């Protein structure tokens, strides 16, 4: 695996944001931020990274995107973590399948790109991010992962895949699927009883795509294990309540969720 970090602190790629007045813009003052390219099995995987300038041996947090991929909102979340003292890395896990910003609707996006990403491929790309972090100022003994929607599901799965993760935060990641798409053999409900990594799940009671019944099943499955994981449900929030660039944004739940995420990571040694 080779890597090549780019200079600069900008991030030009964008998804299909829906303009709102609530979009948060986190500056790069005091940070080093930009794109790196990781070579994973011959594929160049772009990774946005942000960190406090002039610091080393930083706690590491991987930021996993929703179905719209690596775009400005996800880069901004990475900068938010960097402002809190983290080396944050956000990989483009869809790079082999296509560019989500070119797909006009969610149904097509799911069919052409998202459902074609094998879980093993995503796990390998995140492993490569962790390795890059260890060579570039990160302390991988203080490793966390935070993901949204599709990335929330990946967060649960990566916590099961890599027991070196100290703590994880999964925002409204789907918990069950029937039937399982090709290359996606397990889902969070399947790995919950055997988890050893503490995962904080953040969900919305009004999320029509993730029924509360499945959240309750996940809570029961976690209770059968020893990971000390927890799920918080926001009664007034729906899906994508953290996405400040979409009308689904719920500022109160988003702020509380991010505060809980930071506290969870620090409580479990990532900070």
Give the catalytic positions in this structure: 149, 207, 239
Residue 154: name the closest of 194, 182, 127 by CA.
127
How many angstroms from the chain centroid is the CA of residue 53? 23
Tokens of 87: 């080396």
Q: Do 117 and 94 touch, CB atoms closer than 8 A?
A: yes
Cβ–Cβ < 8 Å for 146, 65: no
Q: What is the 8-class DSSP label of residue 92?
A: -
Closest CA to 64 of 122, 1, 2: 122
With CA atoms as reference, report the closest residue to 78 among 98, 99, 61. 61
Q: Show the tokens assigned to 208.
A: 């029509």
């Amino acid at each position: 695996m080779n890597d090549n970090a780019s200079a600069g602190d900008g991030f030009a790629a964008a998804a299909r944001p829906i303009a709102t007045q609530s979009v948060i813009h986190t500056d790069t003052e005091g940070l080093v931020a930009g794109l790196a390219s990781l070579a994973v099995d011959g594929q160049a995987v772009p990774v946005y990274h942000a960190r406090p300038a002039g610091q080393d041996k930083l706690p590491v947090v991987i930021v996993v995107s929703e179905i719209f991929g690596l775009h400005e909102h996800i880069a901004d979340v990475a900068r938010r973590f960097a402002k809190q003292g983290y080396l944050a890395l956000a990989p483009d896990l869809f790079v082999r399948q296509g560019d989500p910003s070119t797909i006009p609707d969610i149904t097509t996006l799911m069919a052409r790109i998202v459902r074609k990403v094998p879980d093993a491929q995503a796990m390998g790309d995140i492993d490569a991010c962790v390795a890059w972090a260890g060579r570039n100022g990160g302390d991988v003994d203080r490793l966390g992962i935070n993901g949204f929607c599709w990335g929330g599901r990946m967060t649960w799965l990566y916590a099961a895949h890599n027991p070196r993760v100290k703590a994880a935060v999964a925002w409204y990641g789907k918990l069950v699927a029937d039937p399982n798409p090709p290359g996606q053999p397990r889902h969070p409900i399947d790995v919950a009883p055997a988890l050893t990594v503490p995962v904080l799940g953040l969900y919305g009671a009004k999320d029509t795509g993730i029924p509360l019944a499945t959240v309750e099943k996940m809570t029961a499955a976690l209770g059968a294990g020893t990971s000390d994981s927890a799920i918080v449900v926001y009664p007034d929030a729906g899906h994508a309540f953290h996405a400040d660039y979409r009308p689904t944004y719920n500022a109160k739940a988003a702020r509380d969720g991010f505060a809980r995420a930071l506290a969870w990571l620090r409580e479990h040694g990532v900070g």
